[in-house]
Structure 1
Amino acid sequence: MNPDTHNGYIIIPAYNAEKTLPELLQRIRACCPFHIVVVDDGSKDHSAQIAAHEGVHLIRHPKNMGKGKALQSGFKFVSKAGGDFAITLDADLQHPPEAIPGLVVKYSEAPGTFMIGRRQRDDNMPLHRQLSNYITSFLVSRRTEMTIPDVQCGFRLIPGKYLHHLFTGSKGFVFEAEMVIRLADIGVPVDFYPIPTIYLKGGHSSIAHIRDTLHFISMFTRSLFRRFS
């Protein structure tokens, strides 16, 4: 697959990302020819102004609605634009954009596959994140009857023809696990692409971590009811 011949879109959900967004956009443009969509999720800093100045597609939420809603807004935009695929990555430089060309090459080997980044649970990942990642990945693997080694990684490629299945869903970070379940339930093949494990200072607070865990339990329970109803 020649990247220059495909109508690909990169979706960046951004919340107060002014410190990292300029570097991220510069690095993306240095290695990728794809359209860039920044979804400003009610930022209180200059994230939206930076995106507008850089000339990318900008979607603005009037208030902070959560990463899930930011992704859903991006998916709607890309679907309406007729994108061949959407690539998602975080605004905080946790996902190296230099991995995108390799991801697209791997996707070209099996077009129509939902691709998920795979990080190693090593010393670069905080211990509580390793535990959370292991538990959620195990549960989603059992739920989907597939081996999902890293259900929390936000570095992904979703084929355009499946985006309409992801227009709604959970508001927060748990939507990323929900995406895997939804696409697996309709028979979308899944594959994985290794990326470095990068964690920066200033992640979720312990309160947010507990909240996200409870949201995951709620989402997972609802998915079981849908499966057996």
Structure 2
Amino acid sequence: MNAPTPIHPLILIPCFDPGPRIDETVRSALTAGGGLPVWVVDDGSDPATVERLAHLVAEHESVTLLRHETNHGKGAAVLTGVRAARQAGFTHALTLDADGQHPAACIGAFVEAAREHPEALVLGRPVFSADAPALRVQGRKISNFWANLETLWAGIGDSLFGMRIYPIDDLVAVMEDARWMRRFDFDPEAAVRLAWRGLPLVNVDAPVRYFDAEEDGVSHFRYGRDNRLLIWMHLRLLAGFLRRLPRLLMRRRHNGQARR
């Protein structure tokens, strides 16, 4: 059996007005990351965030800051980050949300999964606590159903959870080939398009925590606006799925025969 291909990962945190939580997110990533560099892409945040990020960069030599002068969306921030990371020689990017919802304690498990399966998309599968907002927990089941339908149930454990490890070359390729996936539609569309590309999918369980305003929690999710964006995205992906259906069926048949 051939040894897995070595990987060179980094931690990538897109952020937009995350509030004080960004400090803990970055410091936790540095502590749990086992020496992995942390890159933050500031997507046009307010002056208070700019100042916070400047302090973090000054305090930690392992932190690199990239910046958009105006807000372009999460997907656009990730694309800026992975393009620069590829030029710097990195092969994989572990993405974390800036608001502290993703557990830094799980970084090691994600990186280990990527080392064992360097060709795979490593997806976080959220484990919700009892106090998680019911609307958020139940609502994501709809997006998960459509994402799995659009990939012939390739194994997307959760289409919306943003803690993942992407093979950078593959992510850049699908993003540069797509007009969309620059805003809130980034996470589910990236998972679907990378599955279409033929990447194996590996799911890693990770507890998720929602912070309220008293805990400095910040959410930019808007139910009407972002759900409309998701509906339009799944309509586009469904059309793409139907065009690709013969090829996906052929790939599934081939993979089934190879496992026999």
TM-score above 0.5, yes or no:
yes
The whole-number CA distance in structure 2 between the counterparts of 1:95 and 1:114 is: 17
Equivalent residue, structure 1, for 2:64: 57
Distance change in 2, residues 1:28/1:123 (3 Å):
same
Give the alignment partner of residue 36 of structure 1, picking from 29, 35, 38: 38
Shift in Å, 1:50: 2.7
Unaligned stretches of 5+ in structure 1?
A: none
Write the letter of the residue equivalent to 1:184.
A
Alpha-carbon displacement from aligned partner over 1:44-101 (angstroms, at most 9, x marks no partner): 1432333333332211111122212111211211122221210000111100112101
Unaligned stretches of 5+ in structure 2?
A: 1-5, 58-62, 244-260
Shift in Å, 1:224: 2.6
TM-score w.r.t. the length of structure 1 is: 0.89
* Counterpart check, 1:209 vs 2:209: no
Q: Please give the secondary structure, in 2, of the residue aligned with 1:92.
A: coil
Q: Report how many residues are paired.
A: 224
Q: CA RMSD in A?
A: 2.0
* Structure 2 counterparts to residues 73-112 of structure 1, below 5 A: 73-112=80-119
Equivalent residue, structure 1, for 2:175: 166
Give the alignment partner of residue 195 of structure 1, picking from 206, 223, 238: 206
TM-score w.r.t. the length of structure 2 is: 0.79
Shift in Å, 1:121: 4.8
The whole-number CA distance in structure 1 between the counterparts of 2:220 and 2:72 is: 18
| Conserved 8 A contact 1:120-1:196 | yes
Q: Please give the secondary structure, in 1, of the residue aligned with 2:135.
A: helix
Point out the more displaced range, 35-44 or 106-115: 106-115
Instruction: Percent identity, please.
Output: 30
The whole-number CA distance in structure 1 between the counterparts of 2:196 and 2:136 is: 26
